[in-house]
Amino acid sequence: MAKFIIEGKQKLSGEIEVYGAKNAAIKMIAGACLFSGKTVLENVPDILDIQKIITILEFFGVRFLRNGHTLEIDTSNMTLGDPDPKLVGEIRASIVLVGPLLSRFGKVKIPHPGGCMIGSRPIDLHIKAFKDLSVKVIENNKFYQFEAPVNLSENKTSQVNFKKISVTGTENILLYASNLENQDTIITNAAIEPEVIDLIKFLKTAGAEIAVSKREISIKGKKNLSPVRYRVMPDRIEAGTFAILAAATKSDLKILNLVPNHLESLLDKFKIMGIQFEINDNSLYIKTSPDFQAISINTGEYPDFPTDLQPPMGILLTQAQGRSMIKENIFDHRLEYLKQLEKMGAKIDLIDTKQAEITGPAKLSGIKLDSLDLRAGATLLIAGLVASGTTEINNAENIDRGYEKIEDRLKRIGAKIKRVL
């Protein structure tokens, strides 16, 4: 287990680049399995979660060649494999292999997918959605088996309605239904996160016919989708994490290679708080704002405030003037990191598992902590940079899941951080 050691209170400045979106790239790697041949993805971050999905797919005979941020995926010799259940259990995104593998092989058996420990993470919405498309699903306590229907009547239209919006649920059905010849599928109450829209663009480049209108996605299934070359969108959560890092450490920082529209809900909050920023095409300049005001955060599905930026926002609110509120509406247990900030000196009132009040500004002091999950880990990194003294963060691997070589990038803007193995 690696750890990060941070000396806080350094002045940060300069430029930091945002890499490709984890939660888009993983789904496109899965999408490449829909067709036989070589797909090339550009702007793929070199992070643990991507390495894990690659290792899982190697069990299926998929071959990968990485050159920097360009990833070639060769599915020519793909067969139905039997992935290591432990590995599948480590990443939630392994669930999106079901759609492409089912489409390509007619059946797939997969162990229960895992991911960050941020609340119960069932897959009932995925199962119900596949059943709506006449897929047979057999469950036991170790794995799920999905079997595609053999004789589908021509030109059928099926409807999948999500009773609760699910990002990977929507993506799984998109991946499966795009490749169903002569079958039309309409998804209602669909997720429209930018990563879902980027996956749709990827599939359309491969020849799929997909239309989006508000929360309804219509798919005209076709065979003969073909391998493509595609550039993954910038990671909006990484961009937001860096913007919050700049504001929390009261730094002047230019964040490069992002899509400003994707950060609208965060920047709206910055405006109200009095955090100064400037947008230029695909960069965001956060200016030193000595004082900023408390605010309420309510997480929700896009375009509302993203749950993945809620923990980084939590550390920012410890430095705001007055009483802030956080309400987490997506996951049941995503406020645990607040207990750690409290140990550093933050003034937190944890009302229940989904709501908290934060009073600022608080003086934070460095201590030894464990990174609980990916975004909570990134939050502790920011906390360590805000705090006085030394902060030690165990389980650096949780942060490596989603942020590539984070210590090198932070060092380049003036942070004092080292990784200890």
Q: Verify binding: residue 167, ligand EPZ, rule CB under 6 A.
A: yes
Q: What is the x/- site pattern for ligand EPZ, positions 76-105, by CB under 6 A?
A: ----------------xx------------
CA 77 to chain centre: 29
CB of 77 to ligand EPZ, least distance (A): 27
CB of 322 to ligand EPZ, least distance (A): 28
Residue 60 vs 162, nearer CB to ligand EPZ: 162
Q: Verify binding: residue 164, ligand EPZ, rule CB under 6 A.
A: yes
Segment contacting ligand EPZ by CB under 6 A, of 121-129, 140-148, 150-158, 253-261:
121-129
Q: Verify binding: residue 244, ligand EPZ, rule CB under 6 A.
A: no
Selected from 94, 103, 158, 168, the binder of ligand EPZ by CB under 6 A is 168
Which residue carries 């190697």 as its tokens? 58
One-character DSSP codes across 1-68: --EEEEE--PPPEEEEE--B-HHHHHHHHHHGGGSSSEEEEES----HHHHHHHHHHHTTT-EEEEET
Residue 8 vs 99, nearer CB to ligand EPZ: 99
| Catalytic position from the list 26, 40, 116, 387 | 116
* Distance from C-alpha of 244 to C-alpha of 309, rounded to nearest angstrom: 9
* Distance from C-alpha of 179 to C-alpha of 157, rounded to nearest angstrom: 14
Closest CA to 315 of 373, 265, 384: 384
* Distance from C-alpha of 355 to C-alpha of 349, rounded to nearest angstrom: 9
* Distance from C-alpha of 377 to C-alpha of 366, rounded to nearest angstrom: 15
Residue 124 vs 408, nearer CB to ligand EPZ: 124
Tell me which residues in 16-35 interact with ligand EPZ (CB under 6 A): 23
Segment contacting ligand EPZ by CB under 6 A, of 35-43, 78-86, 161-169, 225-233:
161-169
CB of 380 to ligand EPZ, least distance (A): 14
Q: Verify binding: residue 308, ligand EPZ, rule CB under 6 A.
A: yes
Selected from 43, 94, 158, 166, the binder of ligand EPZ by CB under 6 A is 166
Q: Note whether 174 and 130 are within 8 A (CB).
A: no
Q: Verify binding: residue 334, ligand EPZ, rule CB under 6 A.
A: no
Q: In this structure, which amino acid lies at residue 290?
A: P
Q: Provide the token pair at 131.
A: 């059943």
User: What letter would DSSP give residue 235?
Assistant: -
Strand order across the beta sheet in which 416-420 lies: 368-370, 390-394, 3-7, 416-420
Burial 47-75 (b: 16+ CB within 10 A, else e): bbbbebbbebbeebebebeeeebebbbbb
CB of 80 to ligand EPZ, least distance (A): 23
CB of 194 to ligand EPZ, least distance (A): 10
Selected from 71, 266, 374, 382, the binder of ligand EPZ by CB under 6 A is 374
Closest CA to 13 of 267, 234, 255: 255
Q: Verify binding: residue 116, ligand EPZ, rule CB under 6 A.
A: yes
User: What letter would DSSP give residue 305?
Assistant: B
Residue 257 vs 307, nearer CB to ligand EPZ: 307
Residue 117 vs 152, nearer CB to ligand EPZ: 117
Q: Provide the token pair at 57.
A: 């797919």
Selected from 21, 101, 123, 266, the binder of ligand EPZ by CB under 6 A is 123
Q: Note whether 21 and 232 are within 8 A (CB).
A: yes
Q: Provide the token pair at 390.
A: 């030394």
Residue 75 vs 166, nearer CB to ligand EPZ: 166
Burial 188-214 (b: 16+ CB within 10 A, else e): ebbbbbbbbbbbbbbbeebebebeeee
Tell me which residues in 197-226 interact with ligand EPZ (CB under 6 A): none
Q: Verify binding: residue 375, ligand EPZ, rule CB under 6 A.
A: yes
Residue 362 vs 383, nearer CB to ligand EPZ: 383
Angle 192-406-374 from CA coordinates, rounded to 5°:
50
Give the number of residues written for the chain.
Answer: 421
Active site residue 116: yes
Interface with ligand EPZ (CB under 6 A), residue total 25
- Give catalytic residue positions: 116
Q: Which residues sit at the interface with ligand EPZ, rule CB under 6 A?
A: 23, 92-93, 116, 119, 121-126, 164, 166-169, 191, 193, 307-308, 330-331, 374-375, 402
